[in-house]
């Protein structure tokens, strides 16, 4: 999420026009779910995706119109019918996409999106609220912080003075809400501010050189840790967000492990793996995995239990690391590790999904 909004803020600072497209409603099957985003920049550069195929083609055509008119549109796309069947895009559902202009002249947009990025970086909760109305000009969006404060312009909501916007401060999933208590019954799209998942990768060896770019490609921010500068350097890890050339102990002093942190231990030997695992067990990440055979795992577990580590704590560890796909080469092992990271992240999102739509 943050990457797209970071690109948007940079474009606004450069005086550029952008169009932001977001899936706000989904009925049936679709390539992407509610909240998927696509940023269309003035030079035609695309950041993100909402599903490709005919869906994205239709949105791109509408984005060109919005770029010229400066007015938003809600695009209703049916992923059914002969045209869709001919394209082999057999999803069979319907989606609504909000396509809105975000231009450099809209000072409020810069403030809102800059604050959103800051909130995500600091792991602060909040919700981006966007008025859904075709034909409106840039604007009509604001942030609700976890304390219930409003950042941005909420005046676009007709009769909104009586709404308790603080109730939106902890929305768990993107959702579309019709404000029945307001004059004209406006509709808003609620998008929770989320911290991007972080991969804390211990070990800068051969396997890690494949894990890091693959994890970055699927949306993880990657921090590589190794005490050898000849291994942990930008030449070997050009896509890493951070490189820490230090000991395991120093890394845990410098990095704050949050519920969005995923830890993968892929060091150069048993002793280093054990050291990293021992330190990682003192934290509560979203994921903790360690490479190695079952025999190696059992030896490390036994030594840790002799130190007093509880069996329940060791059950949190994914080891051998990765999904079992018969991986043998470093490239295949990297795929299995990142696949498991994706699986854990997706399950976490599913667990947060509310049983009913927030009103």
DSSP secondary structure of 235-252: TT-TT-SEEEES-HHHHH
CATH of the domain at 247: 3.40.50.720
β 94-103/17-27 pair status: antiparallel
Q: Which residue has the higher pLDDT, 288 or 359?
A: 288
Is pLDDT at 188 greater than 70 in this prediction? yes
Whole domain around residue 277: which residue ranges? 198-348
Q: Do the domain assignments include residue 27?
A: yes
Question: What does the pLDDT read at residue 28?
Answer: 77
The stretches of the chain forming alpha helices (DSSP H) are 2-13, 53-69, 82-86, 107-121, 206-217, 248-254, 270-280, 294-306, 311-314, 330-352
Q: Do the domain assignments include residue 116?
A: no
Q: Do the domain assignments include residue 72?
A: yes
Question: What does the pLDDT read at residue 225?
Answer: 98
Shared-domain flag, residues 300 and 255? yes
Residue at a domain's end among 103, 129, 148 = 103
User: Contact at 8 Å (CB) between 326 and 335?
Assistant: no
> If pLDDT is split at 50, 70 and 90, which confidence band does 283 have?
very high
Q: Do the domain assignments include residue 23?
A: yes
Residue at a domain's end among 192, 220, 248 = 192
> If pLDDT is split at 50, 70 and 90, which confidence band does 265 have?
very high
Total domain count, the chain: 3
Bridge partners (DSSP) of residue 262 are 199, 287
Question: What does the pLDDT read at residue 164?
Answer: 75
Shared-domain flag, residues 238 and 341? yes
Q: Do the domain assignments include residue 109?
A: no
Shared-domain flag, residues 216 and 233? yes
> If pLDDT is split at 50, 70 and 90, which confidence band does 128 have?
very high
Q: Do the domain assignments include residue 231?
A: yes
Percent of the chain with pLDDT strictly greater than 90? 56
> If pLDDT is split at 50, 70 and 90, which confidence band does 83 have?
very low
Shared-domain flag, residues 186 and 204? no
Q: Do the domain assignments include residue 289?
A: yes
Q: Do the domain assignments include residue 64?
A: yes
Shared-domain flag, residues 90 and 144? no
């Amino acid at each position: 999420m943050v990457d797209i909004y970071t690109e948007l803020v940079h474009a606004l600072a450069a005086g550029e026009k952008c169009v932001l497209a977001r899936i706000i409603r989904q009925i049936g099957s679709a390539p992407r779910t509610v909240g998927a985003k696509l940023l269309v920049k003035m030079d035609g550069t695309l950041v993100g995706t909402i599903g490709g195929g005919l869906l994205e083609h239709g949105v791109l055509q509408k984005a060109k119109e919005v770029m010229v008119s400066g007015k938003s549109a809600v695009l209703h796309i049916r992923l059914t019918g002969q045209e869709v069947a001919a394209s082999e895009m057999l999803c069979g559902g319907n989606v609504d996409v909000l396509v809105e202009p975000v231009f450099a002249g809209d000072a409020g947009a810069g403030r809102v999106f800059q604050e959103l990025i800051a909130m995500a970086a600091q792991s602060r909760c909040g919700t981006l609220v966007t008025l859904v109305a075709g034909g409106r000009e840039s604007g009509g969006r604001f942030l609700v912080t976890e304390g219930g404060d409003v950042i941005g312009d909420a005046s676009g909501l007709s009769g909104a003075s009586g709404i308790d916007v603080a109730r939106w401060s902890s929305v768990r999933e993107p959702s579309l809400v019709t404000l029945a208590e307001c004059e004209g019954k406006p509709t808003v799209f609620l998008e929770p501010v989320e911290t991007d998942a972080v991969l804390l990768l211990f070990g800068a060896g051969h396997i890690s050189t494949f894990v890091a770019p693959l994890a970055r490609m699927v949306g993880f921010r990657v921090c590589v840790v190794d005490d050898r500068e000849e291994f942990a350097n930008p030449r070997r890890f050009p896509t890493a967000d951070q490189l820490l050339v230090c000991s395991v102990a120093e890394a845990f002093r410098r990095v704050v492990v949050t519920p969005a942190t995923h830890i993968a231990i892929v060091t150069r030997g048993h002793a280093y793996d054990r050291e990293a695992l021992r330190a990682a067990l003192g934290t509560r990440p979203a994921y903790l995995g360690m490479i190695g055979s079952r025999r190696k795992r059992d030896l490390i577990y036994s030594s840790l239990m002799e130190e007093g580590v509880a069996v329940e704590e060791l059950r949190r560890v994914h080891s051998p690391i990765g999904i079992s796909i018969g991986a043998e080469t470093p490239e295949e092992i990297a795929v299995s590790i990142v696949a498991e990271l994706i699986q854990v992240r997706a399950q976490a999102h599913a667990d947060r999904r509310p049983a009913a739509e927030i009103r």
